[in-house]
Chain A
Amino acid sequence: MLFVRSPRVIFSLNGKRTRTNAHPMKRLLDVLREDCGLTGTKEGCGEGECGACTVLLNGAPVNSCLVPLVHAAGSRVTTIEALGGRHRLQRAFVEHGGAQCGICTPGMIMAAIALGPRPSIEGIRAGLAGNLCRCTGYSSIYRSIADASRRALVRPAQKHAAFERRARRAR
């Protein structure tokens, strides 16, 4: 053998090169929450049905409870924390009631990001079919996403003073 491979898994987490000694078969969800300290990604069912643990793997939404760490090796992993609370989707979810109890919200927003710009209502419904929300009945989530895509087109730089103030406090 030319070299001994370290058991470390290296991946990009929210744009930062990250190494971990966690077991390669540990669920990405647990690595994010326990080893990387990012608890914004939630566990709702542990079997890939509810989507609360949705993160982006190389830009595509995955249920992080079904992804072993080794699958993320060398990949880009993006979690809710990457958005910093200022993404237009996050702002829209607050303003349009897309978040109630909030437990599905991080996963819902990550799945919504993967819908791309200006998704149709059919596109939103199909794209979010793997994300369960028990509070809203989904309509306010559609309104949030629709508003965010309108903003992206019409007034991308508009600031919402109260929102920004609270976002700073929350951070």
Chain B
Amino acid sequence: MRSSRGLKAVGRNVLRKDGVEKVSGAARYIDDLSFPNLLHARTIRSTIPSGHVVDIQYHGDTTGFTIVDHRDVPGRNIVALIDDDQPCLAERTIRHFAEPIVLLAHENRERLNAVDVQIAYREATPNFDPAASKTSFKTIAIEKGSLDEGFAAADVVVEGEYRAGHQEQLYIEPNGAIAVPAGGGITLYGSMQCPYYVHRALKVLLGLPDHKVRVIQTETGGGFGGKEEYPSMIAGHAALLALKAGRPVKLVYDRVEDMVATTKRHPAVIHHRTGVTRDGRLTAIDIDALFDGGAYATLSAVVLSRGLIHASGPYRCDHVRIRGRAVMTNTPPNGAFRGFGAPQTQLAAEIHMDRIAGQLGLDPVRVREINALRPGDTTATGQRLGDCSALQVLRAAVERSAFKRRRRALAGTNRGIGLALFFHGSGFTGGGEVALASKASLALTGRGARIFVASTEIGQGTRTMHAQIVADTLGVPYDCVEVNAADTGEVPNSGPTVASRTCMVVGRILQRCAEEMRERLGTLTPGEYLRTHGPLVITKQYEKSSAIAWDDHSYRGDAYGSYGWACDVVEVEVDPDTWQVKPTAFTTVHEIGKAIHPMLASGQIEGGSAQGIGYALFEEVVMRDGRMANCQLTNYIVPTTLDTPAIDVVMLENPYKHGPFGAKGVGEMPIDGPAPAIINALRHMGIDLREIPATPEKIMAASAERTGSGITKSRSARRYTKPSSKTLHALREKP
């Protein structure tokens, strides 16, 4: 690994590759594209949560329409992912509200929307309660040491149950795809994170060979996991219509359809039972987690896996048992969302930690200092940590936020301060990266090089960060490195753009490509090499470090190549009239190995923290009879400018030797911490809340039973400030 000295691009805030197009309105998102003879499409969905389709009737003029149902599927009628349980179009059985049944296409949108499709059902009794579910998608147990021994050594046992609701990814650009028939196959344009997921799903659905399916990512207006697996569904729908009609078909959801039908973060109930000595040392951790997977398996198994591996938090303990299940309910399937199970489990772990501190009469910093993982310690899966920055981020955040002084100063007011210490594994869990066997290519150009990866730019800065890594490794200026479109016809499969892996894993493969290219060039410039030797393309595949070992059967070993470490400190103020919580100060310290582009990395941390604030306070998915009742931005509230405090970001660097220039992942970790930090700030005020979102109603109920100082209009309270119109709206409109 090179030192940062002499680096011209890495570590600097170079201009992002796609910046000019995005600020000028020239960037082309899926809905900005059009094709000759384009048809528009519409999805007809179930209006019941459970039952069978009995009859389908079309009312209105359907001449000239292309109509597709499950009988038109040429291959297998599934959305190919992990378990092949989800049909692309429902055949007879309905397992959730808004399940797609029939597809319509027509060139005229007014006529398309004028047709009324009546579906008769035989209804079955739905189950919306995960605890009552009889179907498990996945069960996992992680065991370390002996619980009996651990509890025998404990002076105190602390127990508690914590709950998190759904969360909508709410990328501002809804899901969309355009399918174009081409030479007996299909070319699919779409807003997505994982072109090769869509590629595989289309091959299976359409029964086509590799070369007959081409998937091209268009500029993507946010993903956050919401465009990890769902695009395979919408792409399949557009492709089925396009093949039947023999014309291009555009299918772009409006906001309501996107919120009602697409995946969300898994709701979870997590039970902790912890043994602890009087002086604050953890002796036994017993955790039971229940994740609501919704109607189909999607990614529930791996969400559960990441969730459980992070469930005991960044703490050392010799005796741990973590058990969990992801189960089926008759609600729309839940899926990937930034954090991928870890925000739910670390919410529970960190609220629980403050409750332990409270019971022992220790301060929250002290109990974490005693138990934080140190280099040489082992995690719940038995992974021995070489590097570990848990204590460093904790101490840096406590100092920078003046946590202890503020905690004393705010005591007894309607303001509180709380913290959360957390970690996040980079890359696929366990043997995932080996199974993916990702490839990346680098082609020599006259000026420098061109990057070929399927890793997508979804706002986080993939193109920019990859180009920086290649530029400095190859020794050419950043502007001389180009990035090819994520087009499966041109780029190798560098794996999905998920799991905080795009920089650490794919960036490292690119770095190895650039290292070899540098060697081949010798003393020649790229132009000279091309003139003398002709074209040069270098392709490399992921190589596992020999130090990483994982056993998927026993769930033991090195769950991740490396972990990022972080600590959030949040100050909140509760309005004594409306019970509305307003975060007033936010400090976060992240250790991410190396910030390739400090501004982009900081942008991930700020944005992820804001999403975490929404998860903690505002973002409530109201499910009524298996259907999202508040499926609009009018009543599903995400943080606005007025709800988001200034976020003070500190990045620490502790290079990871297998990451490019020492970099680890950064995308997901920021969303793990804000919710527990905010709930712990409420606890500082004497409000015992164990559930998010912490809506005013829940805080009011919890405050009624409060024991501590609590909320009064004391003189030290700040002057009343008017809540934002959006949050007031939330209070009025809550369904």
Q: Are B607 and A137 in contact (CB under 8 A)?
A: yes
CB contacts (< 8 Å) of B726 on chain A: these are 129
C-alpha gap A93/B20 in the complex (Å): 9
Q: Give B569 Cβ to nearest chain A Cβ, in Å.
A: 16
Question: Who on chain A is nearest to B649 by CB?
Answer: A139
Asked whether B459 is an interface residue with its Cβ less than 8 Å from the other chain, the reply is yes
Asked whether B117 is an interface residue with its Cβ less than 8 Å from the other chain, the reply is no
C-alpha gap A7/B220 in the complex (Å): 37
C-alpha gap A58/B606 in the complex (Å): 34
Instruction: Give chain B's interface secondary structure class.
Output: loop
Q: Are B170 and A94 in contact (CB under 8 A)?
A: no
CB contacts (< 8 Å) of B173 on chain A: these are 42, 44, 101, 103
Asked whether B422 is an interface residue with its Cβ less than 8 Å from the other chain, the reply is no
Question: Who on chain A is nearest to B33 by CB?
Answer: A39
* B173, B458, B644, B725 interface centre (most CB from chain A within 10 Å): B173
Q: Give B552 Cβ to nearest chain A Cβ, in Å.
A: 34
Asked whether A128 is an interface residue with its Cβ less than 8 Å from the other chain, the reply is yes
C-alpha gap A125/B24 in the complex (Å): 22
Question: Who on chain A is nearest to B27 by CB?
Answer: A102
| Size of A's binding interface in residues, CB under 8 A | 61
Q: Which A56-96 residues have a C-beta within 8 angstroms of B?
A: 79-81, 83-85, 89-91, 93-96
Question: Who on chain A is nearest to B31 by CB?
Answer: A43
Q: Are B255 and A167 in contact (CB under 8 A)?
A: no
CB contacts (< 8 Å) of A166 on chain B: these are 15, 19-20
C-alpha gap A116/B261 in the complex (Å): 40
- A170 touching B26 in the complex, CB below 8 Å, given contacts A46-B254, A135-B459: yes
Question: Who on chain A is nearest to B25 by CB?
Answer: A40
CB contacts (< 8 Å) of A140 on chain B: these are 599, 602-603, 606
Q: Which B457-508 residues have a C-beta within 8 angstroms of A?
A: 458-461, 479
Asked whether B97 is an interface residue with its Cβ less than 8 Å from the other chain, the reply is no
Q: Are A49 and B459 in contact (CB under 8 A)?
A: no
Q: Are A135 and B222 in contact (CB under 8 A)?
A: yes
- A102 touching B647 in the complex, CB below 8 Å, given contacts A47-B634, A125-B642, A134-B607: no
C-alpha gap A47/B729 in the complex (Å): 15
Q: Are A85 and B26 in contact (CB under 8 A)?
A: yes
Interface string of B6-26 (1 = CB under 8 A from A): 000000010110111111111
Q: Give B42 Cβ to nearest chain A Cβ, in Å.
A: 15
Asked whether A136 is an interface residue with its Cβ less than 8 Å from the other chain, the reply is yes
* A39, A135, A138, A170 interface centre (most CB from chain B within 10 Å): A135
* B27, B639, B725 interface centre (most CB from chain A within 10 Å): B27
Q: Are B255 and A42 in contact (CB under 8 A)?
A: no
CB contacts (< 8 Å) of B640 on chain A: these are 129-130, 132
- A138 touching B600 in the complex, CB below 8 Å, given contacts A42-B29, A101-B173: no
C-alpha gap A96/B23 in the complex (Å): 12
CB contacts (< 8 Å) of A84 on chain B: these are 24
C-alpha gap A88/B98 in the complex (Å): 45
Q: Which A115-171 residues have a C-beta within 8 angstroms of B?
A: 124-126, 128-140, 162-163, 166-167, 169-171
Q: Give A48 Cβ to nearest chain B Cβ, in Å.
A: 9
- A102 touching B459 in the complex, CB below 8 Å, given contacts A129-B640, A137-B609, A167-B20: yes
Question: Who on chain B is nearest to A139 by CB?
Answer: B606
C-alpha gap A140/B16 in the complex (Å): 14
Q: Are A105 and B22 in contact (CB under 8 A)?
A: yes
Q: Give B537 Cβ to nearest chain A Cβ, in Å.
A: 24
Asked whether B620 is an interface residue with its Cβ less than 8 Å from the other chain, the reply is no
- A103 touching B607 in the complex, CB below 8 Å, given contacts A44-B172, A49-B632: no
Asked whether B28 is an interface residue with its Cβ less than 8 Å from the other chain, the reply is yes
Q: Give A93 Cβ to nearest chain B Cβ, in Å.
A: 5
Q: Are B641 and A124 in contact (CB under 8 A)?
A: yes
- A134 touching B641 in the complex, CB below 8 Å, given contacts A39-B32, A85-B23: no
Q: Give B566 Cβ to nearest chain A Cβ, in Å.
A: 15
Asked whether B127 is an interface residue with its Cβ less than 8 Å from the other chain, the reply is no
Question: Who on chain A is nearest to B601 by CB?
Answer: A97
CB contacts (< 8 Å) of A47 on chain B: these are 255, 632-634
Asked whether A99 is an interface residue with its Cβ less than 8 Å from the other chain, the reply is yes
CB contacts (< 8 Å) of B29 on chain A: these are 39, 42, 103
C-alpha gap A170/B19 in the complex (Å): 10
Q: Are A103 and B221 in contact (CB under 8 A)?
A: yes
Asked whether B133 is an interface residue with its Cβ less than 8 Å from the other chain, the reply is no
| Size of B's binding interface in residues, CB under 8 A | 60
C-alpha gap A163/B29 in the complex (Å): 22
Question: Who on chain B is nearest to A160 by CB?
Answer: B15
* B219, B610, B725 interface centre (most CB from chain A within 10 Å): B610
Question: Who on chain A is nearest to B605 by CB?
Answer: A137
Q: Are B20 and A163 in contact (CB under 8 A)?
A: yes
Q: Are A134 and B222 in contact (CB under 8 A)?
A: yes
Asked whether B638 is an interface residue with its Cβ less than 8 Å from the other chain, the reply is yes
Asked whether A13 is an interface residue with its Cβ less than 8 Å from the other chain, the reply is no
- A102 touching B633 in the complex, CB below 8 Å, given contacts A39-B32, A134-B171: no
CB contacts (< 8 Å) of A171 on chain B: these are 24, 26
Q: Are B606 and A128 in contact (CB under 8 A)?
A: no
Asked whether B187 is an interface residue with its Cβ less than 8 Å from the other chain, the reply is no
CB contacts (< 8 Å) of A101 on chain B: these are 22, 171-173, 220-223, 458-459
Q: Are A134 and B220 in contact (CB under 8 A)?
A: no
- A95 touching B15 in the complex, CB below 8 Å, given contacts A44-B255, A135-B222, A137-B607: yes
Question: Who on chain B is nearest to A89 by CB?
Answer: B23
Interface string of A18-48 (1 = CB under 8 A from B): 0000000000000001000011111111110
CB contacts (< 8 Å) of A83 on chain B: these are 24
CB contacts (< 8 Å) of B460 on chain A: these are 100
Q: Are B25 and A39 in contact (CB under 8 A)?
A: yes
C-alpha gap A134/B169 in the complex (Å): 9
Q: Are B603 and A81 in contact (CB under 8 A)?
A: no
C-alpha gap A101/B634 in the complex (Å): 22
- A132 touching B25 in the complex, CB below 8 Å, given contacts A44-B255, A96-B599, A102-B459: no
Question: Who on chain B is nearest to A82 by CB?
Answer: B25
CB contacts (< 8 Å) of A128 on chain B: these are 641
Asked whether B224 is an interface residue with its Cβ less than 8 Å from the other chain, the reply is yes
Partner of A93, one of B23, B174, B255, B607: B23
Asked whether B611 is an interface residue with its Cβ less than 8 Å from the other chain, the reply is yes
CB contacts (< 8 Å) of B725 on chain A: these are 129
CB contacts (< 8 Å) of A46 on chain B: these are 254-255
Q: Are B632 and A94 in contact (CB under 8 A)?
A: no
Asked whether B712 is an interface residue with its Cβ less than 8 Å from the other chain, the reply is no
Question: Who on chain A is nearest to B223 by CB?
Answer: A101
Asked whether B701 is an interface residue with its Cβ less than 8 Å from the other chain, the reply is no
CB contacts (< 8 Å) of A103 on chain B: these are 29, 171-173, 221-222
CB contacts (< 8 Å) of A109 on chain B: these are 23
Asked whether B108 is an interface residue with its Cβ less than 8 Å from the other chain, the reply is no
Partner of B170, one of A91, A134, A137: A134
CB contacts (< 8 Å) of B600 on chain A: these are 97
C-alpha gap A91/B28 in the complex (Å): 19
CB contacts (< 8 Å) of B1 on chain A: these are none
CB contacts (< 8 Å) of A163 on chain B: these are 15, 20
Q: Give A169 Cβ to nearest chain B Cβ, in Å.
A: 8
Q: Are A129 and B641 in contact (CB under 8 A)?
A: yes
Q: Are B642 and A129 in contact (CB under 8 A)?
A: yes
Question: Who on chain B is nearest to A34 by CB?
Answer: B34
Q: Give A115 Cβ to nearest chain B Cβ, in Å.
A: 12
CB contacts (< 8 Å) of B402 on chain A: these are none
Q: Are B25 and A97 in contact (CB under 8 A)?
A: no
CB contacts (< 8 Å) of B359 on chain A: these are none
C-alpha gap A126/B721 in the complex (Å): 13
Q: List 27 A-B contacts (CB under 8 A).
A: A40-B25, A44-B172, A44-B255, A45-B633, A47-B255, A49-B632, A85-B23, A91-B23, A94-B15, A94-B23, A95-B13, A99-B16, A100-B222, A102-B23, A103-B173, A104-B172, A105-B22, A128-B641, A129-B641, A132-B172, A134-B611, A136-B607, A137-B606, A137-B607, A137-B611, A166-B15, A171-B26
* 15 further A-B pairs in the complex, CB-CB below 8 A; given A137-B608, A171-B24: A39-B32, A44-B172, A46-B255, A47-B255, A91-B23, A100-B460, A101-B222, A129-B642, A134-B169, A138-B641, A140-B599, A140-B602, A166-B20, A169-B20, A170-B21
